[in-house]
Amino acid sequence: SRFETCWPALMKDSHGVVIVFNPELPSHLKELEMWYSCFVQQQPLLDSQCLLVAHHKPGTAGDTENLSLAHPLDKLRLIHSNLEEDPEDVRMEFMKYFRSIISLINESREREEMSIIS
């Protein structure tokens, strides 16, 4: 991947990682593990700071129910997006994820402040 030299800059101080992939492409499913390893495990971020988005292109009748990912990806929050059918559902899921990241940031900030005080 020709952008690998940019990855450290992208990762610096990041609080969350959203990985969007096409579940119908076997190559994407293989690459998922690499992205997870580089952007989540090596950071290190918590699994709760990662969101997987299986994006189904218009007109592809993807089998959304039976996408089984290998360990450790199976522990991550996974949403299926198909903007033709249910964009609102995707928006709601993304907002839920976003709120969880914000509360994690607030918690760690509070812990830092407490450690400075004590």
Q: What pLDDT, in 10s, does the model give residues 23-58?
A: 988 899 889 999 999 999 998 899 999 999 999 887
Which amino acid, one-letter code, is at 26?
P
Its pTM stands at 0.83
Domain range list for the chain: 8-117
Q: Using CA atoms, how far apart are residues 23 and 60, in angstroms rounded to an integer?
A: 11
Torsion of CA 78, 72, 108, 114, to 10 degrees: 140
CATH number 3.40.50 given to 8-117: yes
Q: Using CA atoms, how far apart are residues 81 and 20, in angstroms rounded to an integer?
A: 9
Q: What pLDDT, in 10s, does the model give residues 100-118?
A: 999 999 999 999 999 998 7
pLDDT at 2: 64
Which amino acid, one-letter code, is at 50?
C
